[in-house]
Structure 1
Amino acid sequence: MQADAVAGRYELIEEISSGGMGTVWRGFDAVLDREVAVKLIRPDAIVSAAQAEEFALRFRREARVTARIQHHGVPQVYDAVLDRSYEQLYLVMELVHGTSLRAFIDPGQPLPVSWAAAFAAQISTVLSYAHAVPVIHRDLKPDNVLVTAEGGVKVLDFGIAAILRTDVTRITATGSSLGTSQYMPPEQVQGATVTPHSDLYALGCVLHELLCGSPVFDGDTDFTRMNQQVYDAPKPLREIRPDIPAELERLVLDLLAKIPEQRPADAYAVYERLVPFLPAPGSPPEPSSTVPSDGPDPTLMFRRPNAPRRRADTAPVLERFTPDLHASVPSLAPDTGLRNSIKAAISRSDELLDEDRFAQAAEVLEIVIAPAGEAQGAESSQVLSLRARRAAILVIGGDYRRALPEFDALAAAYTRTTGPSREDALECLQQAAFCRAELGQATAALRQFQDVLGRVKRVKGDASEAALEVRRHIGVLLLSEGKVREALDILQPLYDDLCLVQGKNHESTQEVGEILARVRLAGGAGGEAGQAS
């Protein structure tokens, strides 16, 4: 299960997409233990050593320039890797989860003006930062824009556009100029100099499509559409959709001017002209009947600027890349294949744990859990063990939010299959309570710890190792809620039992003793904080 690695560091896990310029992989950074996007670009037209050396120099220079676009609307460039043969290059970037802007374009349900303006305003903000570097996108289109759960946009592929510069050399897989005919400005079609105004033209094409659900020009072939971009006048928006404000129609027509200098001065000017169509801070959202169902709201950042991150259980569901778990473990049909896959996953996960790569160690197990569940049953002992192992790794890595629902589900599953007081069920209940405590859900955590303690005492007694640990959690949680007397009623007997069972010099005994001493020094419960010494 060892994945291919780039530069000995970036492990390629799943191919996300492929196209004429190469492939995009979901990967893991082995050093920082985080997901990354690895873009493999194949400069197929490089045929000589001189070309390769020139490309290598430009690649490094442009990758560094691209990395200077410091804006949250641009996925950050983490690394740029060129192999020694100059035959393959990799951009390592922030992995973005989101839904394509293309999904918001529907001829049968055009977007509200505020939504279209909000998308365009965010894109123009990104372009203003990029053009200041300067970096020109050259291929702005809905497919290169992702919308996050909070309604923010991420403009993709600045890195590729900056490196595969069509005004320097043509090195795409087909040898054709970079760009998409439905959004390509006249100067790019004609092979003239591409400038920031070229990106503004593409933005005009995108805004037109967001507002009316169809492209500016819709010829049957790339050649026809390119010819239309150069020679045909765009149809005014209000002839297609009468409710469009006249000033917004004027902005789109200005963006689509054939001569670059006749377009708005820059991306900032575009943003300023969009401001009147953006919702004011504190204003209500658009009626649900006029917007895409369950979609991220691009107006949120304008209606509630600098708002906190939305809670996980209220964030809209996004279209995300989901690995094909069956493809990840190809030999699942024979029992030996499944056993070998699980064994390899556990071994690889252990290796990653030794390197403190907790996120990837958990994912390696996740890959085999689904197919193992289908083959053996979702509540078979091995599948539950794999799930518990993965959840424990999430806890070790501090990912309590993802671990909590899994431990809740595991506790319920173990209760059904082995009984409520069996060790596996109790351990999962305890871990769920611990996660709740770490997430600040003190009341719920306390209630759950008390439930666990009652079950443990019936099975193992009050001074068992498990009971002592749970009693400590309960005492600390009571202190955190300001219930000092109740906490002391737990912690002082706990300290006495620890002295008897483990001795005064044991780490756990000393820890509880120090807690009692601090409470006593603070005058907790009238200075009667116990006799720890």
Structure 2
Amino acid sequence: MPEQPIAGRYELVEELNSGGMGDVWRGYDAVLDRPVAVKVVRRQAVAGSPQLAEEFAKRFKREARITARIQHPGVPQVFDAVLDDAYERLFLVMELVDGLPLSAYIRPDHPLPVSWAVAVAAQVATVLSYAHEVPVIHRDLKPSNILVARDGTVKVLDFGIAAILRTDVTKLTATGSPIGTYQYMAPEQVRGGRTSPQTDLYALGCVLHELFSGRHLFNADSKYLVMYQHVNAAPTPLRLLRPDVPAALEELVLHLLLKSPEARPVDVQEVYERLRPFLPTPGGRPAPGESWPQGVPDPTGIFRQPYAPRARVGAGRPVPTTVDPHAALPAPVAVPELLREEIAEAYAHSDALLDEERFAQAAEVLSEIIEPAARALGTENRKVLELRTQRAAIRLLGGDYRAALPEFDALADAYARTGGPSSTQARACRAQAARCRGELGQVTDALAALRDVLHVVRAVGGDVSDEAVELRRDIGMLLLAQGQVPEAQLVLAPLHDDLCLVYGPLDDMSEEVAEALALIELDLDGPAA
């Protein structure tokens, strides 16, 4: 892999998976400070004569542009396409999706619920309808190219890759082997014939058959025998393998798997309409026996609650238990020397990235050490909590309030358990969580939390400690931003007096509060003169 950033901005951080056409890496965009996915097509797929390399470069750019035109949330957004100067490697830079491939959920001993499988297939059909309109044919649709995100949305990966690596151009397929994966290859692909949208429909039929049955459509000792079966053998009807599959779904799968492309459904819209009667209705609940293991994404959710707002931040968060101040604290665990060095290196690396304002990557560096540290020392070990606190602070600093909020909430609970609810760390994390809520528009909750923390701080350190004046400033500014001008003035005016007395009128916070009070005096919301 290149030691220098790709195109001067994309860094390869960690290999996520490896396939026949290339490797997928977790990457980092240094310009926009965000994680990305980078698809690196294998060297042997690209190398060739200068003439082939030139033709490949043209095709790569053309296909990347076409793929980027598929405007659908089920297709990871293409950010960039880079071909190196030697025409030996190509890099597709895409949206990084948090989820698992569909293949991770297919098991012969645990068939997927019908509604789960139908919801996945319907989402894939929707994506294909947008792609075929461009027109883009996938040519390599399979479970490992279908990703189920944690919120249940389905993403179809690797559009355009098969087209880029066509047999007449690349060394990878110079032997004449057809592009595709043999377990999902339509008869016309096996024969090396023309592909069409119906080619993708056949692959979708293979995927649906596998979702319902837990096994490949055809199985044999060699891939060539499987390819022969795709051309000549009749598929086993699903209800012989799984009697609870509705007859109409069995008919749809058999229709998708017809040998002649013209005999298959006319288009993917027809497929969706035939799936629709088996999709959950808006507001509906899972039928008995249609549940799935805890932690498995729910692809039916977008049908049960279409266009629903995203879940409230912190919704479902467990209520912290009451802390017994007399309870014995866990005994400290000695930090192994090697782990101590790795933690120090992580802090140093993260700090260096912070100096460059690379907030997302700085937080990721700490994430990589937090998990092994928690396994070795315990999740509420002081060193682990400090690492998590620094990561949350970086996310807050970088403006990622949605990610920082649950971390600060969890840290406040952990510090309350280990050091007491009024400990400095617990107070600080509760205040930071409140600031995140304020940035996310949850002003009522933010104000209530800040006032609660201020009440504790006043009892511990008075009204003009650094912690107290920051809380008073935040409360006043939130009130002002909400248009509660009289309430804001009642907070900010005495705060300004205290700041001038203790820190002087030229202190940064003194000047900030003075400016806010000057705005209040202008009465910009009052009637025009």
Classify the TM-score, shorter chain: 0.7 to 0.9
**In structure 2, distance between residues paired with 1:389 and 1:117:** 43
Q: Does residue 1:255 correspond to 2:266, yes or no?
A: no
Contact 1:41 1:89 in 2 (8 A): yes
Q: 1:496 to 1:181 in 2, by over 3 A?
A: same
SS at match of 1:158: coil
Q: Give 1:486 deviation, angstroms.
A: 5.7
SS at match of 1:437: helix
Q: Give 1:229 deviation, angstroms.
A: 0.7
What's 2:469 paired with?
468
Q: Which amino acid aligns with 1:256?
A: L
**In structure 1, distance between residues paired with 2:144 and 2:504:** 65
What's 2:10 paired with?
10
Deviates more, 1:504-513 or 1:479-488: 479-488
**In structure 2, distance between residues paired with 1:391 and 1:349:** 13
Q: Give 1:5 deviation, angstroms.
A: 2.5
What's 2:32 paired with?
32
What's 1:322 paired with?
none
Contact 2:137 2:160 in 1 (8 A): no
SS at match of 2:71: coil
What's 2:222 paired with?
221
Deviations 1:498-527 (A, max 9, x none): 333344455533443454455566699x99
What's 2:147 paired with?
146
SS at match of 1:140: coil
Q: 1:155 to 1:410 in 2, by over 3 A?
A: closer
Q: 1:420 to 1:8 in 2, by over 3 A?
A: same
What's 2:273 paired with?
272
Contact 2:118 2:279 in 1 (8 A): yes
Q: Which amino acid aligns with 2:192?
A: G
Matches within 5 A, 1:133-532: 133-166=134-167, 169=170, 171=172, 176-282=177-283, 284-287=284-287, 289-294=289-294, 295-311=296-312, 335=337, 338=339, 341-372=342-373, 383-411=384-412, 424=425, 426-458=427-459, 460-477=461-478, 487-504=488-505, 506-516=507-517
Q: Which amino acid aligns with 1:261?
A: E
Q: 1:309 to 1:482 in 2, by over 3 A?
A: same
Q: Give 1:184 deviation, angstroms.
A: 0.8
Deviations 1:56-90 (A, max 9, x none): 22212211221111111111111111112222211
Q: Give 1:34 deviation, angstroms.
A: 1.0
Deviations 1:8-37 (A, max 9, x none): 211111111112322111111111111111
Q: Give 1:308 deviation, angstroms.
A: 1.3
Q: 1:375 to 1:248 in 2, by over 3 A?
A: closer
Q: Give 1:360 deviation, angstroms.
A: 0.9
Q: 1:21 to 1:493 in 2, by over 3 A?
A: same
Question: Gaps spanning 5+ residues in structure 1: where?
Answer: 317-332, 528-533
SS at match of 1:289: coil
Deviations 1:294-351 (A, max 9, x none): 33222222232211123466699xxxxxxxxxxxxxxxx983x556544443343233
Question: Gaps spanning 5+ residues in structure 2: where?
Answer: 318-334
**In structure 2, distance between residues paired with 1:373 and 1:120:** 39
Q: 1:196 to 1:481 in 2, by over 3 A?
A: closer
Contact 1:373 1:380 in 2 (8 A): yes
Q: Which amino acid aligns with 1:30?
A: A
Contact 1:185 1:229 in 2 (8 A): yes
Deviations 1:356-395 (A, max 9, x none): 2211111122323444566677666655544333222111
Matches within 5 A, 1:89-168: 89-166=90-167
SS at match of 1:78: strand
What's 2:327 paired with?
none
**In structure 2, distance between residues paired with 1:43 and 1:347:** 35
Contact 2:52 2:170 in 1 (8 A): no
**In structure 2, distance between residues paired with 1:87 and 1:394:** 37
SS at match of 1:306: coil
CA RMSD of aligned residues (A): 3.5
Q: 1:425 to 1:104 in 2, by over 3 A?
A: closer
Q: Which amino acid aligns with 2:115?
A: S
Deviations 1:200-226 (A, max 9, x none): 111111122223333322223212211
TM-score (norm 1): 0.83
Q: 1:297 to 1:451 in 2, by over 3 A?
A: closer
Q: 1:311 to 1:168 in 2, by over 3 A?
A: farther
SS at match of 2:160: helix
Q: Which amino acid aligns with 1:273?
A: R
Q: Which amino acid aligns with 2:206?
A: C
Q: 1:139 to 1:444 in 2, by over 3 A?
A: same
What's 1:21 paired with?
21
Percent pairwise identity: 60
| Residue-pair matches, total | 507
Deviations 1:79-135 (A, max 9, x none): 111112222211111111113222443444544443333222221221122122222
SS at match of 1:6: coil
Q: Give 1:4 deviation, angstroms.
A: 5.6
SS at match of 1:79: strand
Q: Give 1:231 deviation, angstroms.
A: 0.7
Contact 1:218 1:225 in 2 (8 A): yes
**In structure 2, distance between residues paired with 1:475 and 1:381:** 33
Q: Which amino acid aligns with 1:277?
A: F
Q: Give 1:236 deviation, angstroms.
A: 2.7
Contact 1:21 1:173 in 2 (8 A): no
Q: 1:65 to 1:469 in 2, by over 3 A?
A: same
Contact 2:132 2:197 in 1 (8 A): yes
Contact 1:185 1:202 in 2 (8 A): yes
**In structure 1, distance between residues paired with 2:424 and 2:111:** 57
Q: Which amino acid aligns with 2:73?
A: H
**In structure 2, distance between residues paired with 1:407 and 1:367:** 18
Deviations 1:417-445 (A, max 9, x none): 77776655544443233234334444554
Q: 1:372 to 1:234 in 2, by over 3 A?
A: closer
TM-score (norm 2): 0.84
Contact 1:20 1:174 in 2 (8 A): no
Q: Which amino acid aligns with 2:129?
A: S
SS at match of 2:44: coil
SS at match of 2:80: strand
Q: Which amino acid aligns with 2:290?
A: T
Deviations 1:426-466 (A, max 9, x none): 44443233234334444554444344434444554322333
Contact 1:42 1:173 in 2 (8 A): no
What's 1:328 paired with?
none
Deviates more, 1:55-64 or 1:287-296: 287-296
Contact 1:503 1:509 in 2 (8 A): yes
Q: Which amino acid aligns with 1:78?
A: F
**In structure 1, distance between residues paired with 2:57 and 2:464:** 67
Deviations 1:227-256 (A, max 9, x none): 111111123333434444443333222211
**In structure 2, distance between residues paired with 1:375 and 1:299:** 38
